[in-house]
Structures are given as C-alpha cells and as structure tokens.
Amino acid sequence: MKPLLHRLQNSRNALGLAFMLPAAVLLLLFLTYPLGLGTWLGFTDAKIGRGGSWIGIENFDFLVGDSVSQLALFNTVFYTVVASIAKFVLGLWLAVLLNKNLPFKSFFRAVVLLPWIVPTALSAIAFWWIYDAQFSVVSWVLMKLGWIDRYVDFLGNPWNARFSTIVANVWRGVPFVAISLLAGLQTISPSYYEASAIDGATPWQQFRHVTLPLLSPIIAVVMTFSVLFTFTDFQLIYVLTRGGPLNSTHLMATLAFQRAIPGGALGEGAALATLMVPFLLAAIMFSYFGLQRRAWQQGGDK
C-alpha cells in the first residue's frame, strides 16, 4: 500500500489529475450539466412539473414563426448594439479623463464604480421611479422649467421604452468598461507619449496612433464581456417593464423566463434560451479573431 501511495505522490500525472479534479467537477456539475440539460430541454415538450419527450426541432420551428419571439430577437439585437456602442464610447472617454492627473484622483476612480457595485435590481427600482408615468422626477423638473406641458411617457411608448431601458443599462455598464480600460491605459508606457510629443503629434494624433492601437487588446476583451452582459440582461427589464409595453422591450432572456416559468412551457423557454447561444458565440469569435490580429500587429508569429 505504502509504495503505491508513495509512487502516486511522486507522479506528476497522478498529482496533476488530483489537483485538477475539484475544478473539473465544479465545471462539469455547475456549468456543463445545466447547459447540456437546458439544450436538451429545448428539444423536448417538457412542461413545468412534467417531464418531456423528444420532439426534435418543433420548439425552434414554433419560435421562428412566433411574432413575439421575432420581436424579442429584434429588441435584443437593438438593445445590445446601441447599449454596447454607447458604453464603449462613454467608457473610453471616462477612462481617458480618469487617466489624467486630476485632483482627488482615487476618489473619482472609486466613485465611478458605484453604479456597477449597486445590485442591478436596486438600481432598476430607482430607474423605475425616475421613469414612472406619474411620479417621474425628470418629467417633474422639465415641467417646472416649463419645457414640457405633460409628463414624458418614458415606458409607455414602445420606442421611448426601448431607449429608456438602454439608458438605464448604459448607466450601469459604463463603470465596468471605464475602469477596465483605465487599467489598460496605465499599462501604456509614458515614453511613447513623450516620443510622439517630440515628433509634434497633437493630442488627437497621440490618441489615434498610440493609445488606441495599444489599448485594442483590452478593448476586445472588455467589449466581449460587455456585449455578453448586455445580450443576456434580465433584471433591468424585469423590474422596469416586464417586457412591456406591447412586448417592445422583451429581450430573449425575459421572454424565455416568461414562457418557461409563469407560462409553464419549460421546453419552449429552454429553446428560446438556446437560440441565444449562436449570437453569443458570434460575439466571442469576433473578439477572438480581433485579438489574433493584434498579436500579429505586435510582431507575434501569426
């Protein structure tokens, strides 16, 4: 017995396997299994409280022809694209500002993170009051200023509701982008800026030809995450509108929940959630190939 144990303790392979095991179990149990189960459910007619049997692509067939699902897909893509671009522009701008030598620099850097650390559900409730049809503080101020003569219907008109939810999402997502890009900015050596300044580069040229290229690997990673978070957003919509008005803010995640849990159609909800995977994969591939190009630019093998 002892020699065997001794041998195992000295075997790289056995030890490696042993050390890897907890992580592998965690991944398999809490990631692979639920994902696999979710995908499988999408191909069944499972109802809540009742196991399902295999029905092939019937759920997907149904969803493709379903006008509410089509609307949810449009909403999700629109929400993700607009919110991600806004978060990127505002986040980069904020990062560049915070990278400057400001008074109370660390205070500002900490404060910027606040929207990110407040639980989403709580900030969503705050926005819910801000957008309220009767109690909106924004409408109230505009009324007092005499700029409008009736309350803005933030969440009651389909396009207003889409943009209102996007604003709330951007408010919440900007700190993540800004702080991550700020970290990236600080890795750029000041000598590049000094060199370009000696060559007579304007601040815009410095930004365009020094900051942006050196920051792009970080941008790719940060924006991938940002897109993933936005695409799968749930809490914000659920608190603000539950997908209304007229389903104009239903995202695929909220519709999947509505169909699966309150509606009881577990299989259909799972299929809807599975339909999100190709879009998420596309976002990841985009950043993966983006990163590869950077490696080549920086003198890598590829």
Partner 1 sequence: MSDFNRRKFLEGTAGMATLGTGALWTPSAGAQTLAYKPEKGARLRVLRWSRFVQGDIDAYMVNVKKFTEKTGIEVRVDNEGWEDVRPKAAVAANTGAGPDVILSTNDDANLYPDKLLDVTDLCEYLGKKYGGWYPACEAYLRPDGKKWIGVALGAAGSLVVYRESHVKAAGFDSVPKDTDGFLKLYKALAAKGTPGGMALGNATGDSGWCHWLLWAFGGAMVDKDNKVTLDSPATLKALEYAKELYASFVPGTLSWLDPNNNKAFLDGQISITNNGISVYYAAKNSPDPKLKEIAADINHAAFPIGPVGVPTEYHLFFNQMIFKYTKYPQAAKEFLRFMMEQEQFDPWLQGGGGYVAQPLRAYEKSAVWTVDPKHTPYRDSVKNLRPAGYAGRLGYASAGALADFIVPNMVAEAGSGSKTPKEAMERAQKRAERYYKV
Which residues would be at the binding site for partner 1 (CB under 8 A)? 47-51, 62, 66-68, 131-135, 150-151, 153-158, 161, 241-247, 258-259, 261-265
Residues contacting 277, CB < 8 A, separation 6+: none
Q: Which of 157, 123, 108 is nearest to 240 (CA)?
A: 123
Q: Which amino acid, one-letter code, is at 130?
A: I
CA torsion, ordered 96, 100, 106, 109, to nearest 10 deg = -10
Q: C-beta of 243: minimal distance to partner 1 in Å? A: 5
Of 179 and 255, the one with the shorter C-beta distance to partner 1 is: 255
Q: Which of 97, 93, 118 is nearest to 109 (CA)?
A: 97
Of 46 and 95, the one with the shorter C-beta distance to partner 1 is: 46
Q: C-beta of 46: minimal distance to partner 1 in Å? A: 10
Of 115 and 263, the one with the shorter C-beta distance to partner 1 is: 263
Q: C-beta of 45: minimal distance to partner 1 in Å? A: 10
**184, two tokens:** 């990236």
Of 111 and 133, the one with the shorter C-beta distance to partner 1 is: 133
Q: Which of 222, 246, 232 is nearest to 79 (CA)?
A: 232
Of 213 and 244, the one with the shorter C-beta distance to partner 1 is: 244
Q: C-beta of 259: minimal distance to partner 1 in Å? A: 7
- Report the 10 Å Cβ neighbour count for 224: 19
C-alpha to C-alpha distance for 162 and 158, rounded to whole angstroms = 6
Q: Which amino acid, one-letter code, is at 106?
A: S
Q: C-beta of 134: minimal distance to partner 1 in Å? A: 5
DSSP structure class, residue 136: -
Of 224 and 248, the one with the shorter C-beta distance to partner 1 is: 248
Q: C-beta of 266: minimal distance to partner 1 in Å? A: 9
